[in-house]
Amino acid sequence: EPAQIGIYGLGTMGSALALNLAEQGIRVAITNRDSDWIAPFLDRAGALAGQMVPADTLAEFVAALASPRIVLFMIPSGAPMDAMLAEIVPLLAPGDIVIDAGNADFNDTRRRTRELAPTGLHFTGMGVSGGEAGARHGPSIMVGGSKSAWTALEPILTRIAARYEGTPCVARVGPDGAGHFVKTVHNGIEYADMQMIAEIYGLLRDGAGWEAPRIGALFADWDRGPLHGFLTEVTAKTLVARDPATGRPLVDAICDRAGQKGTGRWTVIEALKLGQAAGVIGAAVDARVWSAQAGLRQCAEERLSPGAGSFDPLPAGALEQALIAGRLVTLVQGFEELAAASGEFSWELDLAGIARIWRAGCIIRSDLLHPLIGALGQAGPLPLAHPLPALLAANVAPLRRVVAGAVGAGLPVPALAAALGWYDSIRRARGSANLIQAQRDFFGAHGFARIDSPGSHHGDWGER
Ligand code: 6PG
């Protein structure tokens, strides 16, 4: 019996997806670059192996698939994907669908879509979120590709996706690179959320002397309130975990250098290219860069004064509200970037629909998406759409107190401060950029608009 879909790449995510598909009764062909991985994987699959068609070679793999063939690659993004396309394309026929389900750069996805168009293949860039557990039991899936590819994929993906109150968290968000772009922005938001959480952890640890489990208990408490969401839960659980070797909190034994594979950085790069500001995400990427400069920080702790002061432990409720405000600002920035990309690439993204497929399965799933979905359903600028202004107003005063306290104590809160910087900038009808315009005109004769007469003007700046 032919397989309905083939998975190439039996790493953590590919294996988990194959098991998920099999469990949903979908016959799945499997293969891997190193075919030695296949037998142990089938052993692990147990009864689910009955739904799998193992293939040692690419030719066998393709031959195992029903037509039109659906081939899903879960392999490292970048050059390996181009290499695999070069190998598999000659084996496929017009109408077949090739999915890149990794965290690809959407620019690559657009290029590959263009390059493969003459072959009649449907190249599909698919964002899959939720880590291993998500892939195994229900990820959030963001599909970018042709409508006809979606017609073939929808019945399969709907069965394996996460469900939010019964609704599958999967959608075709747009053509070509749209799915990977949406996944990239998802990850940017993930970076910012994680960074703001780490900043609050740092304030409590370094400013107020709290032990990890006590901070974990606070996050567990927050997970029962408006901050309810996957990353809040993960934070609570990681902070209370013990190192079996020492009995001490495991988090205390972990080096403070954050890794990054690129999606957070891409979110910032693409925001800048689109003329958008993703400041909170940018701060989160900066913070990961600084975290990696461990040698410098080691020396600088002794040489760059003054050392950190103590942080007056604000009521935990203020920290909770500061995090709510910061996360709302991040969501607004992320969705403004999506809106800008939608316009630039004519994707017609359904922004509220994207927020809806993030309600389950993905890493940034959280209750704060609910007010955002309400706001995205309204006309006008997102930060002013009900209920965001009231929610921001209710939580921004604590954010200000937290940032002020941290700054006063010399404790770093770059992402929380970036969120506040955005808020304080956009709520001023008259900002200070009139001076920037004056400076630009002074040294470059760039011209400026006047408040009292139309057109472009120059100043008489005197001696230059
Ligand atoms: C997800 C995650 C995942 C991603 C990392 C981000 O949605 O399941 O976003 O796809 O690979 O969490 O990666 P880095 O932190 O390693 O850049």
Domain end residue (candidates: 119, 143, 176)? 176
What pLDDT, on a 0 to 100 scale, did the predictor assign at position 464?
67
Interval 384-394 mean pLDDT: 98
> How many domains does one find in the chain?
3
Distances (CA, A) of 25 to 35, 49, 156, 346, 415: 24, 11, 10, 37, 44
CA dist 173 and 150 (Å) reads 10
For residue 158, what are the domain limits?
Answer: 5-176
What pLDDT, on a 0 to 100 scale, did the predictor assign at position 157?
98
Residue 107 annotated as binding site: no
Does residue 16 carry a pLDDT above 90?
Answer: yes
Name residues whose C-beta falls within 8 Å of residue 89's C-beta, 6 or more positions apart in sequence.
Answer: 98, 116, 119, 121
What pLDDT, on a 0 to 100 scale, did the predictor assign at position 314?
75
- Do residues 314 and 273 both lie within one domain? yes
Stated pTM of the model: 0.97
CA-187 nearest atom, ligand 1: 9
* Model pLDDT for residues 234-279, shown as the tens digit of each residue: 999 999 999 999 999 999 999 999 999 999 999 999 999 999 999 9
- Do residues 119 and 226 both lie within one domain? no
pLDDT-derived band at 302 (thresholds 50, 70, 90) equals confident
Interval 34-40 mean pLDDT: 96
- Do residues 129 and 247 both lie within one domain? no
Does residue 313 carry a pLDDT above 80?
Answer: no
Q: How far is the CA of 187 from the centre of ligand 1 (A)?
A: 6
What pLDDT, on a 0 to 100 scale, did the predictor assign at position 308?
66
Tokens of 45: 């699959």
CB 167: neighbour CB atoms within 10 A? 14
CA-259 nearest atom, ligand 1: 16
Least confident of 368-377, 383-392, 404-413, 414-423: 404-413
Whether the ipTM is more than 0.90: the answer is yes
What pLDDT, on a 0 to 100 scale, did the predictor assign at position 383?
97
Cβ atoms of 150 and 172 within 8 Å: the answer is yes
Q: Which of the residues are catalytic?
A: 183, 190
The CATH code of the domain that includes 355 is 1.10.1040.10
- Do residues 144 and 289 both lie within one domain? no
- Cβ of residue 362 lying under 6 Å from some atom of ligand 1: yes
- Do residues 148 and 226 both lie within one domain? no
- Do residues 399 and 445 both lie within one domain? no
- Do residues 16 and 124 both lie within one domain? yes
- Do residues 451 and 401 both lie within one domain? no
CA dist 357 and 164 (Å) reads 8
- Do residues 137 and 241 both lie within one domain? no
Tokens of 248: 């001490």
Tokens of 327: 């996360």
- Do residues 102 and 204 both lie within one domain? no
Residue 201 annotated as binding site: no
- Cβ of residue 259 lying under 6 Å from some atom of ligand 1: yes
If 0-12 CB within 10 Å is exposed, 13-18 middle and 19+ buried, where does residue 132 land?
middle
- Do residues 414 and 292 both lie within one domain? yes
Domain end residue (candidates: 141, 159, 176)? 176
- Cβ of residue 263 lying under 6 Å from some atom of ligand 1: yes
Q: How far is the CA of 265 from the centre of ligand 1 (A)?
A: 12
Name the residue type at position 97.
I
The CATH code of the domain that includes 449 is 1.20.5.320
Q: How far is the CA of 1 from the centre of ligand 1 (A)?
A: 35
Does residue 310 carry a pLDDT above 80?
Answer: no
Interval 26-41 mean pLDDT: 97
Percent of the chain with pLDDT over 70: 99
Q: How far is the CA of 251 from the centre of ligand 1 (A)?
A: 19
Least confident of 45-49, 368-372, 460-464: 460-464
Whether the link from the prior residue into 412 is cis, omega within 30° of 0, is no
CA dist 95 and 82 (Å) reads 20
The pLDDT mean for the chain works out to 96
What sections of 304-387 are H helices per DSSP?
316-345, 351-357, 369-376
- Do residues 414 and 462 both lie within one domain? no
Domain end residue (candidates: 153, 176, 199)? 176
